[in-house]
Amino acid sequence: MELRPRQAAARLPGLWRVVAMVLPQFSSPDLYAATDLLRLQLAGPDGSVLSCAGGGADAAPAGEVSVSGGPAYSLQCGLSAGLLPALERLLRDENALRAPGPGPASAPALLSTANLTLRYSGVWPALLAHASLTEAVGLIATLGSVARFFRTHNTRGMWPVALGGVLGRAQAWGGGGPRLALGCYLAAMLEQCFDVRDPHQWRMFQQQQEQQQQQQQQQGVVALAAPAEPGTPLWFNNAMEDCGQDPMQLGWLPAAGGAPAAGSAAAAQLDLLGSFALQDWLPSLVLSALAAIEPDFDMGPGVGTGGGCRLTTPEPQLVLLVTQLQTRVAAQQVRLLVVPGPGAAREGGPGTGRESSDQAGAGAAAQVAPAAVAATAAVGAAPLALPPAASSWEQYLRSLYGVDGAAAELLSKLLDKLRDCDWSDSEEGDSEDEYCPDEVLRRPTLQLIAALSCTRPGLLVRWLAVELQSAVWADVQARKAGAKRRGAGAATTRFDADEHMSGVFRSLRRVAHTEAMPALVIFLFAVEEEALQRLKPHTALFARGVKPGMAAWEVCSAAVEAAAVALAPAAAELAASVRGSVWLQRLLVGQAWLLAPAEVQARLRAAGVVLPDTRLGGDGRGSGSSTASRQGGAGSSGGSAGGSNSGSGSGVADREQLKRLCANPGCSGVAGPGTLIAPNSGKTCSRCRQLTYCCGACQLNHWREGHQTACAGAAAATAAAGRGAQGKRGDSSHGR
């Protein structure tokens, strides 16, 4: 029986209540049907069409971002029926996460559910904009916890999972499959958040639509979808689909309600939750990218190394997208670092012609989004807003690029590929594109290096220390092997550290010159000079037996720090140029909505959710609990990681109303129906009274990972504040 539109609309609320109830039992065909239901464009029973009237590319003026009128009616019914809490409960099934499949209660089934309902449906930005804020925060945090869960609990022998949408290919993910699969889905969902708000991507999408229409009119047939090219709208989402399948359309996102009008409450919520998702997921995505770029990368307990731990097909290019996401984060700090003068240099030149298209795109983006440009300039010029925003980005990046962190390791791998790619090009003459499979990573890697070097110039020196250590050790082993073959008295050529490091920097400068980034070329000259001066004295130590297994930065830490200080003037010059570069300006226009971690924390607290700063790279002193600390009840002051119920003795009215996220940045707990810690529950550190954890395991883990040291300082600061308050009260009473 076929229903009329109004009859179908009248039944949608009841249908969605059933879907939310039986979601754990859904098979693959059921999930496909739910995906179509989420995208359904149907007017409500009263005739209202909400976002159906405003969505799609045709509704947007040329070159401007399409604006949604509201959530599509079917999506609104799903949200009202409790779709997000149902998805969160489903993903927090630990037994299912450990099961390799098949069946609905297994890791492949849960991953497919997340992929189809959240990513392929195209409703992710709309969910963030129009769902209950606390429900959306819980789902975002749960997805992050599941990604971290797969880091420590790999599902061996997992059944294939569909990489793409309805007709997408099945992917044999190997030993680290769950984390790689979920990493691809989360990265693709972040891409949707960025592309739907980017004027440049809308211009490109509209040009693609016009070209396809012209081809159809000329040829009389529907043109086949072109392969997903990096930089095109939703390129990563479409790289996940089978060749020949209709690609995801950027117009899907606003049609569902994912592009609310600027200044609206929905737009503010999308800004907040999109920023929170990026900051919460990026560390896990870096680990997934490492697994994709390095076949021997440790995938966690229970999984051996080797090719089975990486993607079995070249698509999608997860490493490229994660590199771009890191550049976006670094660009935010560069934006707040300096105010460009009228003579700020712009990168680009006649070297390759690649920059000319970027200049045209940036100019068009600036014309179609003057408000975004003005907002970016206003934020960058506001002196009162700079310190907290800049310091919170600095704190976040410092944690992300710690000496033993995955982001620093990924950057080293990218630099290795950049160096090796140039060397292979030099050997093959003019046929560089045929002999460098990582050529697509060149420019994104250089942009990441340029953005990071503006504030962290020591990262390049640290990489060179590791590179030099490996080269010296390889030379020592080669000379030993040669001496054995030729006899103990045979002469060998000594390793020349100057020549080796100069060769490495020549390679990097050549690639930077090829990609028309002269400011980076100049900066690399300065880094080479400092590196030769600071690192060369350590070559003898490397040769005597500091093996590559020992971290080179432990040996050269003082030299790296000294080089970073000496490079500050060169980094400032680079920052001035990068700040005025075309590629960075275009990037900032497209992400003018991105909030600093401190602002995310403040806005979530205003909405009733405490985001501890430990999840943003902090040490727990800025976790929004200072009032509780000043007025909190007695707790153990011993040297153990003691805990208590979070509500005991706090004596703070607002604390009773706040939900909290676990203070352990590595939280992988999936116990319970939701990730938000309700008032008067969880485990609170009894020493500093600043941090609350979802369970004792997370509290103990965070204690061992550094809170043991930070907590002593927090407790001392709290005690000092208490003594100061008592002194003021005593003075006032004495005065009376």
Contact 108, 102 (CB under 8 A): yes
Grade residue 298 by pLDDT with cuts at 50, 70 and 90: low
pLDDT at residue 381, as a whole number: 39
For residues 411 and 271, membership in a common domain is answered with no
User: Is the pLDDT confidence value at 345 over 50?
Assistant: no
Pairing state of beta strands 659-660 and 609-610? parallel
Best-predicted range by mean pLDDT (164-178, 325-339, 546-560, 578-592) = 578-592
Task: Identify the pLDDT of residue 714.
Answer: 64
Please state the rounded mean pLDDT for residues 96-122.
89
Count of alpha carbons within 13 angstroms of residue 361, beta-carbon side: 26
| Mean pLDDT value of segment 664-679 | 93
Highest-confidence segment of 161-170, 226-235, 248-257, 307-316: 248-257
Stretch 515-526: mean pLDDT: 95
Can you give the pLDDT at residue 505?
Answer: 92
What total number of domains does the chain contain? 3
In a domain, 76, yes or no: yes
pLDDT of residue 188: 96
Q: Are residues 404 and 297 in the same domain?
A: no
Question: Is residue 370 one of the residues assigned to a domain?
Answer: no
Provide the 8-state DSSP code for 105. Answer: S
Share of the chain above pLDDT 70, in %: 69
pLDDT for 22: 93
Is 257 within a domain? yes
Between CA 534 and CA 668 the distance in angstroms is 41
- Weakest-pLDDT range from 37-41, 98-102, 304-308, 310-314: 304-308
Query: Around 86, how many Cα atoms within 13 Å sit in the side-chain half-sphere?
Result: 20
18 and 154 belong to one structural domain: yes
CB 600 within 8 A of CB 276: yes
| Residue of 97, 77, 90, 109 lying closest to 13 (CA atoms) | 77
pLDDT given for residue 423 in this prediction = 60
Domain enclosing residue 22, as ranges: 5-309
Least confident range of 128-142, 314-328, 398-412, 622-636: 622-636
* pLDDT higher than threshold 60 for residue 49: no
pLDDT at 689 over 60: yes
In a domain, 598, yes or no: no
Q: Please tell me the predicted confidence (pLDDT) of residue 257.
A: 92
Supply the angle between the helices 518-535 and 568-579 in degrees, to the nearest 10: 160
| 567/628 same-domain check | no
H helices within 170-258, ranges in order? 177-195, 199-219, 235-239, 252-255
Q: What percent of the chain is modeled with pLDDT above 90?
A: 42
Residue 588 has pLDDT above 90, yes or no: yes
Decide: 677 and 659 in contact? Cβ < 8 Å: yes
Whether residue 531 is predicted with pLDDT greater than 50 in this model: the reply is: yes
Residue 152 has pLDDT above 50, yes or no: yes
Q: What is the pLDDT of residue 272?
A: 98
Residues in Cβ contact with 451 at an 8 Å cutoff, skipping those fewer than 6 apart: 327, 330, 331, 334, 578, 584
State the Cα–Cα distance between residues 87 and 258, nearest whole angstrom. Answer: 19
494: left (phi over 0), alpha (psi -120 to 50) or beta: beta
The verdict on residue 501 lying in a domain is yes
- The dihedrals phi and psi of 683, each to the nearest 5 degrees, come to -120, 120
Specify which of 39-48, 473-482, 660-669 reaches the highest per-range mean pLDDT.
660-669
Quick one: tokens of 279? 């900051």
pTM, two decimals, is 0.84
Q: Please name the residue that has the structure tokens 């249908």.
A: 15
Q: What three-state secondary structure class fits 237?
A: helix
Assess whether pLDDT exceeds 90 at residue 604. Answer: yes
Contacts of 104 (CB under 8 A, 6+ apart): 24, 25, 26, 27
Higher pLDDT, 422 or 14: 14
634-659 average pLDDT score: 46
Q: Are residues 219 and 322 in the same domain?
A: no
Poorest-confidence range of 164-178, 236-250, 388-402, 521-535?
Answer: 164-178
- Residue 342 token pair: 């009228």
Residue 145 pLDDT greater than 90, yes or no: yes
Which of 180, 181, 203, 201 is closest to 192 using CA atoms? Answer: 201
Among the residue ranges 357-366, 473-482, 617-626, 628-637, the one predicted with the least confidence is 628-637
Q: In the structure, what pLDDT confidence band is assigned to residue 138 with cuts at 50, 70 and 90?
A: very high
Show the CA angle centred on residue 16, arms to residues 119 and 117, nearest 5°.
Answer: 10
| Residue 594 pLDDT greater than 90, yes or no | yes
**126 pLDDT higher than 90:** yes
Whole-angstrom Cα distance, residue 375 to residue 199?
14
161: pLDDT strictly greater than 70: yes
For residues 207 and 305, state if they share a domain. yes
Which ranges in 196-313 belong to alpha helices (H)? 199-219, 235-239, 252-255, 265-293
Q: What is the pLDDT of residue 478?
A: 77
Whole-number pLDDT of residue 249: 87
What's the pLDDT at 211? 82
> Does the structure show a pLDDT above 60 at 195?
yes
Closest CA to 637 of 586, 674, 710, 688: 688
Q: Does the residue 397 lie in any domain?
A: yes
Q: Which stretch of 39-43, 89-93, 562-566 has the lowest confidence by average pLDDT?
A: 39-43
Give residue 155's pLDDT band: very low, low, confident or very high (50, 70, 90).
Answer: low
Report residue 169's pLDDT band, with 50, 70 and 90 as the boundaries.
Answer: low
pLDDT of residue 244: 58
pLDDT value of position 58: 46
249 vs 452, which has greater pLDDT?
452
Q: Name the average pLDDT for the chain.
A: 78
Within this chain, do residues 333 and 272 fall inside the same structural domain, yes or no? no
pLDDT of residue 228: 72
- Taken as a whole, the chain contains a residue count of 736
Split at pLDDT 50, 70, 90, the class of 620 is confident
Which residue, among 531, 359, 523, 362, has the nearest Cα to 450 in the 3D structure?
523
Query: Distance between CA atoms of 577 and 573, rounded to whole angstroms?
Result: 6
pLDDT of 715 reads 63
Task: Summarize the confidence of residues 211-219 as an average pLDDT.
Answer: 76
What HEC string does 635-702 produce? CCCCCCCCEEECCCCCCCCHHHHCEECCCCCCCCCCCCCCCCECCCCCEEECCCCCCEECCHHHHHHH
* Mean pLDDT within 385-411: 84
Q: Are residues 524 and 626 in the same domain?
A: no
688 lies in a domain? yes
The verdict on 267 and 292 lying in the same domain is yes
Among the ranges given (201-215, 512-526, 609-623, 719-733), the one the predictor scored with the smallest mean pLDDT:
719-733
Judgement on whether residues 398 and 518 belong to the same structural domain of the protein: yes
Q: Which of 30, 29, 72, 31 is nearest to 49 (CA)?
A: 72
Higher pLDDT residue, 733 or 260? 260
List of residues 6+ apart from 678 with CB closer than 8 A: 659
Structure tokens at 116: 């189809």
Give the three-state DSSP class for 316. coil
Which whole number is the average pLDDT over 70-82? 92
Q: Kindly indicate the confidence band of residue 135, based on its pLDDT and cuts at 50, 70 and 90.
A: very high
Using DSSP's 3-state secondary structure scheme, residue 171 falls into strand
Q: Which two tokens stand for residue 655?
A: 């604390």
Confidence label for 8 from pLDDT (cuts 50, 70 and 90): confident
Q: What is the pLDDT of residue 63?
A: 55
Q: Is the pLDDT of residue 434 over 50?
A: no
Contacts 24+ apart (CB under 8 A), 691-695: 691/612, 691/614, 691/620, 691/623, 691/625, 691/663, 692/610, 692/612, 692/646, 692/660, 692/662, 692/663, 693/643, 693/662, 693/663, 693/664, 693/667, 694/662, 694/664, 694/667, 694/669, 695/662, 695/669, 695/671
Q: Which residue has the higher pLDDT, 241 or 574?
A: 574
Domain membership of residue 135 (yes or no) is yes
Res 553: pLDDT: 56
Q: What is the pLDDT of residue 705?
A: 85
The two tokens of residue 449 are 């290096």
Residues 258, 277: one domain?
Answer: yes
Instruction: Give the residue with greater pLDDT, 488 vs 679.
Output: 679
Please list, in sequence order, all residues whose beta carbon lies within 8 angstroms of the beta carbon of residue 29, skipping any fewer than 6 positions away. none
Pair 434, 500 in one domain: yes
How does pLDDT run across 467-500, given as a tens digit for each residue? 888 887 777 777 777 666 666 555 556 778 788 8
Q: What is the distance of C-alpha 670 from the center of its chain?
A: 21
